[in-house]
Chain A
Amino acid sequence: MGRPPGEPGRVAYLYLLPAFVVYAVFLLYPIGRAVQISLYDWDGLTLGRWVGLDNYAAILSDERLRAGFGHALVLIVFYAVIPLAIGLTLAAILNHAQVRGLGFFRTVVFLPQVVAMVVVAVAWRRVYAPDGTLNALLGALGLDGLTRGWLGDHTFALPAVGVVGTWFESGLVTVLLLAGMSRVPAELYEAARLDGAGAVREFFAVTLPSVRGEIAVALTLTVIAALRTFDLVYVTTRGGPGESTSVPSFEVYHRAFGLGQVGSAAAIGVTLTVVIFAISFAINRLADKGTT
């Protein structure tokens, strides 16, 4: 490498060393160990038994695990797809209309991002409880027939958890898209209006294409959040009732510390990591293809 005399070279390693040591010991080494453990049938106490890729095959064949990944897909709809629709609508409105109280609105919708998920889960448990605020609201509207214990219901528990995801991701997506939309030059909108485009056509012709990058970022963040749902399920449902809200992250914990199936837990963790990398890579590739 040609380097002007005196320019720092090797000293760079000294600056990297402390960060790298912590990172290698507490992140790189454990992920390597996770891969190793995932190839064994191990209860965490006695000697493990080599099983090759059986733990991975079980993810496809074990009904409970397959269901867990299926639930994660449902959560993606609630965490990523619906917030994107909400975010596009709200950001388009906020960007266009001179709305009073924009600052306050932004503060409020972004707030869920900074509150500990355990607190969020406690609050929503209260909302969904049989004597909770949602049922009180339905009762007040004369819809007593719809009231139920939402988190204890086989059909409604998973969507109920999903709505919490919609609740805390929508604000993030809105603020992200709003930042993108505010960078669209005003002339583009004027040109569209001069061409006789209405609000809807203008949205699809001007706004949507110019926030493609922000949409990719929003989807990456929210899809990863959906796949990593743990705290929320742990506090609200523990995967129940039955297995109706079991998700991969919760299964990792449940298998390692509840069932003593550490090998299987490690395999799920590794699979989850690979899926997360693959999805974020795919979303970003798609976004790049669109721009060039």
Chain B
Amino acid sequence: MISRAERVANYVILSAFAAFALFPVVTILGAALGPDDAGPAGQAWGPHLGNFAAAWEAGHFGTYLRSSLAVSSFVVVVSVVLSIMSGYAFGTMRFRGHTVLFYLFMLGIMMPSEAIAVPLYFDLRTLGLIDTFWSVALPQVALSVAFGTFWMRAYFRASSRAIAEAARIDGASTWRTLWQVLVPPARPAIVTLTVLVFMWTWNEFLIPLIMVTSESLRTAPLGLAFFQGQYTSGFTLLAAGSVIVATPVVLFYLFLQRHFVRGLLQGSVRE
């Protein structure tokens, strides 16, 4: 059905694009695994895994990964639980102000964080809350809850209204209905929401940049940006540090690829 020439052309186009897509990835992996360009000459061939240990030491990535992990875990757990509850209310219950409140939440999905980060910084500074765990985590919970509410509402609306109704007639409380009847089958939707919020929080740069001054609170991307500014002798350790920062989310992506793709594509599609 497809001519030979067309097939060859197809492969040429796809390979060219795959090469473009991989070019920076290969650049950074090659540098991270190559001989240290700031080290002594005449190093052995083969992958230099010692670069990662050296970058870990020089860049304090242990500290940064720990604060990233703390912030991400908090934001994921809190915003997923809050989103399940608010999505449940919007998706299965009728109440006054339903539409207005829902649109209010929708505002947050497109809201650029740079618009809110500036006033937040000055208000939190007045309260003495700047440079704390809360100043990094809570604004991100707010941003994630907007999307999470939208996401869980769509799920509960499509698949849980009849079940919620039946559970209610059986006399189950709304609380039990939610956690024991509706949440277990909702696991795929919740996993998607979890990986997305984890990725957004782990990769967030502007909010920690503005809110944090002490080194112990720096998240991984922020630490990497600082490391880049300070460490100027060669590129090897910077590349190794970049790989360290990117790896957690990339690992999740490789194992849960379907969730990432589905979430990023469907999350944006209007109903």
Which residues of chain A have a CB within 8 Å of any CB of chain B? Answer: 1, 3, 6-13, 15-16, 18-20, 22-23, 25-28, 30-31, 33-34, 37, 44, 86, 89-90, 93-94, 96-97, 99, 105-120, 122-127, 132-133, 167, 170-172, 175-176, 179, 199, 213, 217, 220-221, 224, 227-228, 230-231, 234-235, 249, 252-253, 256-257, 262, 265-266, 269-270, 272-273, 276-277, 280, 284
B187 at interface (Cβ–Cβ under 8 A)? no
Q: Please indicate the chain B residues that have their CB under 8 angstroms from the CB of A126 in the complex.
A: 24, 27-28, 31, 235, 239
Q: Please indicate the chain A residues that have their CB under 8 angstroms from the CB of B138 in the complex.
A: 22, 25-26
- Within the assembled complex, what's the spacing in Å between the Cα atoms of A117 and B88? 33
Which residues of chain B have a CB within 8 Å of any CB of chain A? Answer: 2, 6-7, 10-11, 13-14, 17-18, 20-25, 27-28, 31, 78, 82-83, 85-86, 88-90, 92-96, 101, 104-105, 107-108, 110-112, 114-123, 138-139, 141-143, 145-146, 148-149, 168-169, 174, 178, 199, 202-203, 205-206, 209-210, 220-222, 224-225, 228, 235, 238-239, 242, 245-246, 249-250, 252-254, 257, 260-261, 264-265, 268-270
Known: A18-B85, A25-B142. A127 touches B27 (CB 8 A): yes
Q: Please indicate the chain A residues that have their CB under 8 angstroms from the CB of B254 in the complex.
A: 107
Smallest CB separation, B202 vs chain A (Å): 7
A221, closest chain B residue (CB)? B268
Known: A44-B122, A114-B253, A118-B225. A1 touches B23 (CB 8 A): no
Smallest CB separation, A278 vs chain B (Å): 11
Whether A228 contacts B82 by the Cβ 8 Å rule is no
Whether A1 contacts B96 by the Cβ 8 Å rule is yes
- Within the assembled complex, what's the spacing in Å between the Cα atoms of A89 and B17? 11
Whether A276 contacts B110 by the Cβ 8 Å rule is yes
> Which of A22, A99, A114, A124 has the most chain B CB atoms inside 10 A of its CB?
A114
Q: Please indicate the chain A residues that have their CB under 8 angstroms from the CB of B10 in the complex.
A: 93, 97, 99
Known: A116-B221, A126-B31. A111 touches B265 (CB 8 A): no
> What are 8 contact pairs spanning A and B, CB under 8 A?
A15-B88, A26-B139, A99-B14, A116-B221, A118-B245, A122-B28, A127-B24, A176-B265
- Within the assembled complex, what's the spacing in Å between the Cα atoms of A90 and B89? 41
New contact pairs (20) apart from A99-B14, A253-B209, CB-CB < 8 Å: A15-B178, A26-B139, A27-B139, A30-B116, A31-B111, A37-B122, A108-B21, A111-B250, A113-B260, A116-B203, A122-B242, A125-B228, A126-B24, A170-B21, A172-B264, A179-B265, A217-B269, A217-B270, A249-B112, A284-B270
Whether B14 contacts A90 by the Cβ 8 Å rule is yes
Whether B224 contacts A118 by the Cβ 8 Å rule is yes
Whether B142 contacts A26 by the Cβ 8 Å rule is yes
- Within the assembled complex, what's the spacing in Å between the Cα atoms of A119 and B101? 37
Whether A119 contacts B21 by the Cβ 8 Å rule is no
> Which of A11, A44, A86, A269 has the most chain B CB atoms inside 10 A of its CB?
A269
Whether A34 contacts B118 by the Cβ 8 Å rule is yes
Q: Please indicate the chain B residues that have their CB under 8 angstroms from the CB of A125 in the complex.
A: 228
Known: A126-B31, A175-B265. A34 touches B116 (CB 8 A): yes
Whether A119 contacts B13 by the Cβ 8 Å rule is no
- Within the assembled complex, what's the spacing in Å between the Cα atoms of A262 and B107? 23
Whether A22 contacts B141 by the Cβ 8 Å rule is yes
Smallest CB separation, A141 vs chain B (Å): 14
Q: Please indicate the chain B residues that have their CB under 8 angstroms from the CB of A3 in the complex.
A: 94
- Within the assembled complex, what's the spacing in Å between the Cα atoms of A262 and B225? 24
Smallest CB separation, A261 vs chain B (Å): 11
Q: Please indicate the chain A residues that have their CB under 8 angstroms from the CB of B270 in the complex.
A: 217, 284
Whether A110 contacts B261 by the Cβ 8 Å rule is yes
Known: A117-B205, A269-B115. A217 touches B268 (CB 8 A): yes
- Find A114's partner among B93, B174, B222, B260 (CB 8 Å cutoff): B260
Whether A272 contacts B145 by the Cβ 8 Å rule is no
Whether A16 contacts B21 by the Cβ 8 Å rule is no
A2, closest chain B residue (CB)? B94
Whether A19 contacts B249 by the Cβ 8 Å rule is no
- Within the assembled complex, what's the spacing in Å between the Cα atoms of A54 and B114? 20
- Within the assembled complex, what's the spacing in Å between the Cα atoms of A167 and B94? 45
- Within the assembled complex, what's the spacing in Å between the Cα atoms of A125 and B169? 62
- Within the assembled complex, what's the spacing in Å between the Cα atoms of A280 and B112? 13
Known: A126-B31, A234-B205. A16 touches B89 (CB 8 A): yes
Known: A224-B110, A228-B114. A116 touches B27 (CB 8 A): no
